[in-house]
Amino acid sequence: MRDYEVVIGLEVHAQLKTESKIFCSCSTRFGQDPNTNVCPVCTGMPGSLPVLNARAVEYAVKMALAVGCRVNRKSLFARKNYFYPDLPMGYQISQYDQPLAEHGWVEIPTEAGPKRIGITRIHMENDAGKLLHTDGTWSQVDLNRAGTPLIEIVSEPDMRSAAEAVEYLKALRSILVYLDICDGNMEEGSFRCDANVSIRPRGSTTFGTRTELKNMNSFRNVERAILYEVRRQVELVEDGEAVVQETRLFDAVKGVTRSMRGKEEAHDYRYFPDPDLVPLVLTEGQIAAWQAALPELPAQRRARFMDALGLSAADAEVLTAEKAVADYFEAALGHGVDPKKIANWVMGDLLRELNDRGVDISACRLSPAHFAQLVGLVEAGSINASQARTVFREAFDSGEEPKAVVERLGLMQVSDDAAVETWVREVLQAHPAEVQRLRAGEKKLMGFLVGQVMRRSGGKANPAKVNACITRWVGEEGA
C-alpha cells in the first residue's frame, strides 16, 4: 500500500429545496402517494414544453458563488440521451459543454493542515423517477421525483485518501445546509455522491485508470467503499493485472464493490443542446444581488467563533460543522456563562448524546437557554458533572427546566462544611487501615476514600470539598 498513491474525484448530486420541480410546476414534496406529483412535462409526454424554475437557478448560483466558482453569464441545457424505465423522456436535461459555473474550491482540514479541493464545474439538471421492486415479479415506476432540481458538483481529482473524500463531502454538505438550499440527507438521497477512484505508483505524475463507485448512502459507506476499492486495485496491480474502467456498486452488507457496467463515455450519450430551452443568461446585476444575499457560511462562522469567542480552530470546526448545532450553541451564549464552558458541554455531552441516540439536534427538547442554565449550575458548584449528565439526559427528552429536574431528583450537590465533615469522619473511622496507609504515603488511597465518601453521600457531596476535608483530617490527626 505504501508504494501507491490514491487519487479520488467526486461527483455530488444535491437536490435543491424548491417547492416545485425544475421544468414544471409539480410539487417536489417527499413521501406522497406514487405518481401524484406528475404532469405531462415531467412524465415526458410528447408536445409538452419545459419552463425553467427561477428559484432553482438562484439556488444553483448561490452554491456556485459560495464555493468561489466563476458563474457563466450564459449557459446551455443539453439532452443526455439514455434509456431507463425511470426516465420517461428518454433523456435527462442537463448541462454539458457550457455549464452554469466553473473553477471553484473548498477547503478541508487534513492532518497536514487545511487543503484546497478544486471544483471543476457545477451544473443544473433534473432528477429521474424511482423504481420500486416490490416483489420478485414486478417493478413499479414512481415519477414523483422525476424533474426534481439537482445540481451536480464535480471535483478535481484532488483527494488523496478516503478520509479526505469524507471531509470534502462534509464541507460541501455543510455549505449547502448553511445556504438553506438542500436538506443534505444522504439516507433519503437528497445528497448523493459517486466516487471516482484510482491508484498510481507513488511519485508518478500521470493518473491510473479509475473506477466509479455508486450506491453509498452515508459518509461511513463512502469511506468503506473507497477503502475496499483501493485495496482491490492494489491487489490487481500487484498481481500484474490491469484495472478496468467501469462503474461499480457498493454493497453495504458485504462491504464490497461489484462491477455493474462498463463505463460509458460522454459520446455514448449523444449530448445535444435542448431545442425546447433557451440559453440561460444571467445579468451582472442578478449575480451581484445573489452574491450580496449570501448568508454567513461555515468558514466565516468558524473564523468569527475563533476571533470573538477565543475558541481554538479545532473547536470552532466541530461547533460549526452542523448549522443547527452552531445555532444552538450561539443561542445558549449570553446567559452569563463562559462561552468556552458552553462550547465544551456542546462538544462533549450534547454531541455524544445525539450520536448515541442517532438523532439530530431537533430531537433535543432542552432549550438553549436552559442548556446554559445547566452549565451554570455546574459552574456554581450546585451540582457536579456526573449529576449534570443525569439532569441533561432527563431534560433532553422532557424539556423540563434543569433546576426543576435537580430538585425533583434531589440532586443538589452538598457543599455545606458540616455535612461533608460528618460523612468524612464516618468514612475515616470505618477505614482505619486505609487511613494509616495514606498517612504512610500511599497516595492512591485518597481516591478510594473520596469514593467512599461520595458513596455515603449518595453522590451528592462536593468532591473538591471532600478532598480538602480528608486531606485536612489526615494531616491534623497525624500531626
Interface ranges with ligand ADP (CB under 6 A): 7-11, 154-157, 196-198, 207-208, 210, 212
**β 101-110/91-94 pair status:** unpaired
- d(Cα 310, Cα 247) in Å, to the nearest integer? 47
Rounded to 10°, the helix 298-309/313-320 angle is 130
Question: Which residue, 265 or 356, has its beta carbon nearer to ligand ADP?
Answer: 265
Smallest gap from residue 112 Cβ to ligand ADP (A): 20
Question: Which residue, 9 or 184, has its beta carbon nearer to ligand ADP?
Answer: 9
**Looking at residue 346, what DSSP letter applies?**
I
Residue 164 interaction partner, one of Zn ion, ligand ADP, Mg ion, none, beta carbon < 5-8 Å per kind: none
- d(Cα 286, Cα 202) in Å, to the nearest integer? 46
Alpha helices by DSSP H, listed for 364-462, are 368-379, 385-398, 402-408, 417-430, 432-439, 445-456
Smallest gap from residue 377 Cβ to ligand ADP (A): 50
Residue 128 sits in the site that holds Zn ion (CB under 5 A): no
- d(Cα 473, Cα 460) in Å, to the nearest integer? 20
Question: Which residue, 14 or 38, has its beta carbon nearer to Zn ion?
Answer: 38
Residue 26 sits in the site that holds Zn ion (CB under 5 A): yes
- d(Cα 365, Cα 361) in Å, to the nearest integer? 9
The interface with Mg ion within residues 119-158 (CB under 5 A) comprises: none
- d(Cα 21, Cα 30) in Å, to the nearest integer? 12
Q: Which stretch binds Mg ion (CB under 5 A): 5-13, 30-38, 139-147, 347-355?
A: 5-13
Among 6, 14, 42, 325, binds Zn ion (CB under 5 A): 42
Residue 108 interaction partner, one of Zn ion, ligand ADP, Mg ion, none, beta carbon < 5-8 Å per kind: none
Smallest gap from residue 196 Cβ to Mg ion (A): 6
Q: What are phi and psi of 365, to 5 degrees?
A: -90, -10
Question: Which residue, 7 or 378, has its beta carbon nearer to ligand ADP?
Answer: 7
Residue 226 sits in the site that holds Zn ion (CB under 5 A): no
Question: Which residue, 22 or 199, has its beta carbon nearer to ligand ADP?
Answer: 199
- d(Cα 113, Cα 26) in Å, to the nearest integer? 46
Give the chain's count of helices (H) and strands (E). Answer: 16, 16
Residue 7 interaction partner, one of Zn ion, ligand ADP, Mg ion, none, beta carbon < 5-8 Å per kind: ligand ADP
Among 7, 24, 119, 128, binds Zn ion (CB under 5 A): 24
Residue 156 interaction partner, one of Mg ion, ligand ADP, Zn ion, none, beta carbon < 5-8 Å per kind: ligand ADP
Residue 246 interaction partner, one of Mg ion, ligand ADP, Zn ion, none, beta carbon < 5-8 Å per kind: none
- Picking from 179, 152, 151, the residue whose alpha carbon sits closest to that of residue 57 is 151
Cβ-based neighbours of 143, under 8 Å, separated by 6 or more:
34, 35, 38, 42, 43, 86, 88, 129
First to last CA, the chain: 65
Smallest gap from residue 33 Cβ to Zn ion (A): 15
Smallest gap from residue 297 Cβ to ligand ADP (A): 22
- d(Cα 233, Cα 199) in Å, to the nearest integer? 7
Smallest gap from residue 154 Cβ to ligand ADP (A): 5
# chain residues binding Mg ion, by CB under 5 A: 1
CA atoms within 13 A on the CB side of 431: 21
Q: Which residues pair with 123 in a beta bridge?
A: 152
Cα 286 vs. chain centroid, distance in angstroms? 31
Q: What are phi and psi of 277, to 5 degrees?
A: -125, 130
Q: Which stretch binds Mg ion (CB under 5 A): 4-12, 80-88, 125-133, 290-298?
A: 4-12
Q: Which stretch binds Mg ion (CB under 5 A): 3-11, 161-169, 371-379, 437-445?
A: 3-11
CA atoms within 13 A on the CB side of 6: 24
Residue 155 interaction partner, one of ligand ADP, Mg ion, Zn ion, none, beta carbon < 5-8 Å per kind: ligand ADP
Residue 372 interaction partner, one of Zn ion, Mg ion, ligand ADP, none, beta carbon < 5-8 Å per kind: none
Q: Give the three-state DSSP class for 367.
A: coil
Q: Which stretch binds Zn ion (CB under 5 A): 26-34, 263-271, 301-309, 370-378?
A: 26-34
Q: Give contact residues for Mg ion (rule: CB under 5 A).
A: 11
Q: Give contact residues for Zn ion (rule: CB under 5 A).
A: 24, 26, 39, 41-42
